Amino acid sequence: MCGIVGYLGNKEAYPILIKGLKRLEYRGYDSAGIALLNKNGELNVYKKKGKVSELEAFAKGKDITGTMGIGHTRWATHGEPNDVNSHPHYSQSKNLVMIHNGIIENYASLKEGLTKRGHTFMSQTDTEVLIHLIEDIRQHENMKLGHAVMVALNQVIGAYAIVIMDKNDPDTLFAAKKGSPMVIGIGKDEYFIASDASPIVEYTKNVVYLEDEQIAIVRRGEELKIRTIKDKEITPYIHELEMELEAIEKGGYDHFMLKEIYEQPRSVFDSMRGRLNSETGHLKMGGIEEYETKFSNARRILIVACGTSWHAGLVAEYLFEEYARIPVEVEYASEFRYRNPVIYPEDIVIAISQSGETADTLAAIELAKSKGATIFGVCNVVGSSIARATHAGSYTHAGPEIGVASTKAFTAQVTVLTLMALHVAKVKGTIAESRYRQLLYEIEAIPQKIEEVLKQNELIKKIASTYQHASNALYLGRGYSFPVALEGALKLKEISYIHAEGYPAAEMKHGPIALIDEEMPVFVIATKGANYEKVVSNIQEVKARKGKIIAVVTAGDHDVKGMSDHVIEIPETDETLVPLVSVIPWQLLSYHIAVMRGCNVDQPRNLAKSVTVE
């Protein structure tokens, strides 16, 4: 949460920073701000509540020159979203400015000490406290800025990715991180700093991922220097970025979310590419091979995740239990980390995260690690904190997901988890060879089946227009479709602000049925499979109470059509793979409803893509 950018080089910083902030806006969009040092040594700071475009309008006509600058887009934690609480924040003398992503947990005690020493604060933020502390140490200990940053960071409890600029040093930026991500791009005579690589990719492919408790000293005309906060010198390891610019642009779509929904035939294919060969029956899961025996002997698997990734974890629970006969528990990472869970050293923990930065998931991993469990990551963002904190893992390879509502990450996660479960089942011998082979063929056909569903976009849009004014919605599914019901409800509520709930279809009669009347749309997955007849009975129960039924059915099913208000047909597939196809209509439906209601689809209110606070 919060996006940070910095630039130091020979170009004008402002356009680079603004473009970078727009790319990072998915991380928070409560306010935006910028600081630039012009050639006369004047420090200009502009900040504004709202989006980056509002900052741009505000800065129009003002002095926006300078070849060094920093910028920030905020997801508010301490202090309401307003101009004053926006970053960058000044030190007491106003000689230093800082941007920050993260939370300084002990800011209150630090602030108290500084106030006693005569500091006054303009904002309610924890960030302002930290930059005051750095200046205070620098003045009282008569230290260079780099050392003062080091001393201050040793006093801080919490998470930070910070960039600091000194009015009296036009050639240096200091950047440091702990818990929040930071990437440094190395160009020709120029440096870029950002929360992720998206603001950097069009200028250079050479990047350094800063590690926790490291400080980067970015100096004009000099090589990048890195030291730890314990003052140990580190040799920067330069990675080559694999990301392409097109992957982070809308490519002709109105919204990133729609682009990402349409990318799914490709992203699901990419998540199995090089891993699956249905001809030979070969399944190669790089990350898992080393831990094959551990997986096979695992007493159980614990899955930790949040939000949509947690829903993917629920699908994985069904898959691992069915294919590999290993008991699975799926935990909200935020609950798991605070409830003294029983964790055995023989446990395998699978942490699922698109961003790889979710604070609760990271904390759950650390807890499980401390108890000796083996941690396996399923992440989308390469080099992310979770990917680095786990013992091994498999990337989902969905490509950058920028729309705040997760779509292609979910299907990629489920694909990877399906391959993992099958691989373990094969190693354990819990699946018949013929079934294993049949499933490999079925999985390979999924991208084509998703393509078929996408062709029904116009029908889904029409259904969306019928229900765009609904105040409530119920999503039902059983078995493998239950997690998809939860995911459908989450998609609708987060981008259209319609209250929606997902339920296992049979649970409806234990409470939610009381909500059903002629105003209530009920979205049901009623595909052919073990629970089909039972779901049909649940549909009848809804109809008997005049609820509206919108059903996702297997192509050619006329029975459910006869009792539904609308049906969306999806191609037949193995029951265990249905979530990969049946989630698509719910994604499109939420998208269209949100657009029709005039909501900001890619940046829904109060949300951020990467939840780096607990």
Of 156 and 495, the one with the shorter C-beta distance to ligand F6R is 495
Spatial distance between the Cα atoms of 364 and 413, rounded to a whole number of angstroms: 19
Residue 270 binding ligand F6R, by CB under 6 A: no
- How would you classify the pairing of strands 548-554 and 521-526? parallel
Residue 498 binding ligand F6R, by CB under 6 A: no
Shortest distance (Å) from residue 262 CB to ligand F6R? 17
Is the alpha carbon torsion for 531, 533, 534, 537 positive or negative?
positive
Which of the stretches 191-199, 271-279, 352-360, 535-543 binds ligand F6R when contact is defined by CB under 6 A?
A: 352-360
Burial of 67 (0-12, 13-18, 19+ CB in 10 A): buried
Tell which phi-psi region holds residue 603, choosing left (phi > 0), alpha (psi between -120 and 50) or beta.
beta
Residue 569 binding ligand F6R, by CB under 6 A: no
Of 353 and 573, the one with the shorter C-beta distance to ligand F6R is 353
Among 424, 476, 498, 611, binds ligand F6R (CB under 6 A): 611
Which of the stretches 17-25, 353-361, 434-442, 473-481 binds ligand F6R when contact is defined by CB under 6 A?
A: 353-361
Q: Name the nearest CA neighbour of 363 among 28, 183, 612.
A: 612
Residue with tokens 């891993």: 275
Taking the chain, what is the end-to-end CA distance rounded to the nearest angstrom? 11
DSSP single-letter state for residue 248: G
Instruction: Count the helix, strand and coil residues of the chain and give each as a percent rounded to the nearest 5.
Output: 40, 25, 35
Which of the stretches 124-132, 314-322, 350-358, 468-476 binds ligand F6R when contact is defined by CB under 6 A?
A: 350-358
Q: Is 493 a catalytic residue?
A: no
Residue 264 binding ligand F6R, by CB under 6 A: no
Spatial distance between the Cα atoms of 582 and 487, rounded to a whole number of angstroms: 11
Q: Is 111 a catalytic residue?
A: no
Residue 390 binding ligand F6R, by CB under 6 A: no
- Crossing angle of the two packed helices 446-454 and 433-444, in degrees rounded to 10: 40
Among 77, 125, 271, 309, binds ligand F6R (CB under 6 A): 309
Position of minimal CB gap to ligand F6R: 307
Of 101 and 361, the one with the shorter C-beta distance to ligand F6R is 361
Among 198, 271, 406, 496, binds ligand F6R (CB under 6 A): 406
Site track for ligand F6R across 472-491, x = CB under 6 A: ------------------x-
Of 365 and 508, the one with the shorter C-beta distance to ligand F6R is 365
SS3 476: strand
Shortest distance (Å) from residue 247 CB to ligand F6R? 17
Among 24, 405, 551, 568, binds ligand F6R (CB under 6 A): 405
| 82 within 8 A of 74, measured Cβ to Cβ | no
Burial of 464 (0-12, 13-18, 19+ CB in 10 A): buried
Shortest distance (Å) from residue 435 CB to ligand F6R? 31
Shortest distance (Å) from residue 78 CB to ligand F6R? 20
SS3 166: strand
Determine which one of 22, 178, 408, 609 is catalytic: 609
Give the interface size with ligand F6R as a residue count (CB under 6 A).
14
Residue 308 binding ligand F6R, by CB under 6 A: yes
Residue type, 32: A
Among 9, 69, 179, 307, binds ligand F6R (CB under 6 A): 307
Shortest distance (Å) from residue 103 CB to ligand F6R? 16
SS3 395: strand
Spatial distance between the Cα atoms of 303 and 280, rounded to a whole number of angstroms: 30
SS3 11: coil
Shortest distance (Å) from residue 495 CB to ligand F6R? 8
Residues with Cβ within 8 Å of residue 553, at least 6 apart in sequence:
526, 527, 560, 561, 564, 567, 568, 569, 570
Spatial distance between the Cα atoms of 502 and 512, rounded to a whole number of angstroms: 10
Which of the stretches 100-108, 301-309, 519-527, 552-560 binds ligand F6R when contact is defined by CB under 6 A?
A: 301-309
Give the catalytic positions in this structure: 2, 609
Q: Which residues bind ligand F6R (CB under 6 A)?
A: 306-309, 353-355, 358, 361, 405-406, 490, 494, 611
